[in-house]
Amino acid sequence: MITVLYFARLREGLGTGSEQIALPQGVCDLDGVRALLIARGGAWAQELAGNKALRAAVNQAMASGDAPVADGDEIAFFPPVTGG
Amino acid sequence: MTVRIQSDDFDIGAEISQLRRANPKIGAVASFVGVVRDVNEGDAVAEMTLEHYPGMTEKSIEDIITQARGRWKVFDALVVHRVGTLKPTEQIVLVIVTSAHRGDAFAACEFIMDYLKTRAPFWKKETTPSGARWVDARAIDDIAAERWRLKG
């Protein structure tokens, strides 16, 4: 299982801030997880689409699409940050 | 270094005193306070809500301070960032840097703030007369962070 977190606009659009999902065989990076979520359709396809400005983290460090993902990892998807 | 994420307000005077107390070699203290404005993108802002990613937010700011300490001679640094709902004129963020001389303190303080704006996971949602909206990231903040690559 991996933990997937969503923040800000994404959390609202998807209607959830966190979930546990089983990592299917063959899914081994961030892009793979994103594709898995987009395949759910509806808001998932809309919010996580490739043309949306999206950032991601693996185990609380900013990561790009090819970052490896393994069982037990904490992944997060969120919009570009706007703090300060 | 100290990094605190909190909903409570902060007292810049008390924080500076605390940071200075420890070290008589400190010759310079630079600080920055970010404040909620009552306008953004031409619309009135009644209030603003800040969301963060507990754990990663603290780690990313600690990492930014570590980078600053690697580039400038800094004795200590403190970042306090508020979350939750804030109204115009309320304080959002505090950065304090202590060093022997002003050059290092100014540069490190500005660097920490520029990197925080583009790398620390916070998101602002503001309430305007036409409803609530998420604040979009600004290209100008990326440019501000990016210019530090050319220096140092």
Q: What would the pLDDT profile of B60-83 be if each residue is shown by its tens digit?
A: 999 999 999 999 999 999 999 999
* Nearest residue in chain A measured CA to CA from B112: A84
* Nearest residue in chain A measured CA to CA from B53: A7
Q: What would the pLDDT profile of B23-44 be if each residue is shown by its tens digit?
A: 999 999 999 999 999 999 999 9
Instruction: Identify the residue whose tokens are 């107390």.
Output: B21
- Could you give all domains of chain B from N- to C-terminal order, each with its CATH number? 2-149 (3.90.1170.40)
B136 to A81: CB separation less than 8 angstroms, yes or no: no
Can you tell me the distance from the alpha carbon of A32 to that of A35, in angstroms, rounded to the nearest whole number? 5
Closest CA to B115 of B44, B65, B51: B65
B122 to A83: CB separation less than 8 angstroms, yes or no: yes
> Angle between the B139-146 and B102-119 helix axes, to the nearest 10 degrees?
140
Residue B150: the pLDDT is 65
The answer, yes or no, to whether residue B152 has pLDDT greater than 80, is: no
B121 to A9: CB separation less than 8 angstroms, yes or no: no
Q: Where are the beta strands (DSSP E) in A1-84?
A: 2-6, 18-21, 55-58, 61-62, 74-78
Q: What would the pLDDT profile of B80-134 be if each residue is shown by its tens digit?
A: 999 999 999 999 999 999 999 999 999 999 999 999 999 999 999 999 999 999 9
Q: What would the pLDDT profile of A18-47 be if each residue is shown by its tens digit?
A: 999 999 999 999 999 999 999 999 999 999
Q: What values do phi and psi take at B80, rounded to 5? A: -120, 125
B123 to A8: CB separation less than 8 angstroms, yes or no: yes
A7 to B119: CB separation less than 8 angstroms, yes or no: no
Q: From the list A7, A9, A84, which residue is nearest B116 (CB)?
A: A84
Residue A53: the pLDDT is 87
- The CATH fold assigned to A2-78 is Ubiquitin-like (UB roll) (3.10.20)
Contact predicate B24/B110, CB 8 Å: no
Segments making up each domain of chain A, as ranges: 2-78
Q: What values do phi and psi take at B97, rounded to 5? A: -130, 135
- Other CB atoms closer than 10 Å to residue A83's CB: what's the count? 25
Instruction: Identify the residue whose tokens are 């490896």.
Output: A68
ipTM value for the complex: 0.94
Contact predicate B134/B124, CB 8 Å: yes
Q: From the list A9, A60, A80, which residue is nearest B55 (CB)?
A: A60
* Nearest residue in chain B measured CA to CA from A84: B117
